[in-house]
Amino acid sequence: MPGVKKKHPEEKTKLHPRNLHRERYDFNLLTGAYPPLAPFVHLNRYQDESIDFSDPEAVKTLNKALLKQYYGVENWDIPPGYLCPPIPGRADYLHYIADLLGASNQGKIPTGKKVVCLDIGVGANCAYPIIGSAVYKWRFIGSDIDPVALESANRILDANPFLKTSIVCRLQPNPKQILEGILEKDEYIDVAICNPPFHDSGETAQASTLRKLNHLSKKKVTQPTRNFGGQAGELWCEGGEKTFITNMIGESKTFATSCFWFSTLVSNADHLKSLYHVLADAGATDVKTISMGQGNKISRILAWSFLNAKQQVMWRELRWKK
Model confidence pLDDT, tens digit, residues 124-166: 999 999 999 999 999 999 999 999 999 999 999 999 999 999 9
Per-residue pLDDT at 184: 87
Q: Please give the C-alpha separations between residue 67 and each of 34, 160, 311, in angstroms, as whole numbers.
A: 10, 12, 37
Helix axes 272-282, 240-252, angle to 10 degrees: 20
Run means of pLDDT, 10 residues per run, the chain, 322 residues = 53 88 95 98 92 94 98 96 93 98 97 97 97 98 96 98 97 95 93 83 47 50 50 58 96 97 96 98 98 79 97 96 77
Strand partners, 139: 116
Question: What is the rounded CA–CA span in Å between residue 139 and residue 129?
Answer: 8
pLDDT, position 210 = 43
Three-class secondary structure of residue 210 per DSSP:
helix
Closest CA to 278 of 241, 309, 315: 241
- Distance (Å, rounded) from C-alpha 195 to C-alpha 142? 12
**What fold, for 27-320?**
Rossmann fold (3.40.50)
- The domain spans of the chain are 27-320
Entry pTM: 0.87
Give pLDDT, residue 128.
Answer: 98
Per-residue confidence (pLDDT) for residue 46, from 0 to 100: 84
